[in-house]
Amino acid sequence: MIEKIKKIDFSILSVDDTDLLLTEILALSEDELKDSVNAIIDTIDYNYTSEEENTLYPSYDIIFGNEKIKEVLNNLLKDYEEND
């Protein structure tokens, strides 16, 4: 799944394809889901970390708007803070 994610152009990903990707990653085991979310985070352009840009591509909004993904993101943040 990670290799598939690395090949996706999230800037042009359709809503239907985003929904399909979300369904696929939500079906993964907890560890695979965590790795996949990390891989998606790695695809975010650094322009989005600037204060000038405050919107993501619609595909990111759909994925990161999912409650399960939000939970995974919170867990990743906790893991990061513990290891920092």
Model pLDDT, residue 14: 96
Q: Which domain holds residue 55?
A: 2-83
Percent of the chain topping pLDDT 90: 68
Res. 38: pLDDT tops 90: yes
Q: Share the mean pLDDT of the chain.
A: 88
Phi/psi for 10 (5° steps) reads -65, -20
Res. 67: pLDDT tops 60: yes
C-alpha span between 25 and 16 (Å, rounded)? 14
Res. 53: pLDDT tops 60: no
pLDDT confidence tier of residue 33, bands split at 50, 70 and 90? very high
For the whole model, what pTM was predicted? 0.83
Q: Based on the structure, what is the number of domains in the chain?
A: 1
C-alpha span between 22 and 48 (Å, rounded)? 21
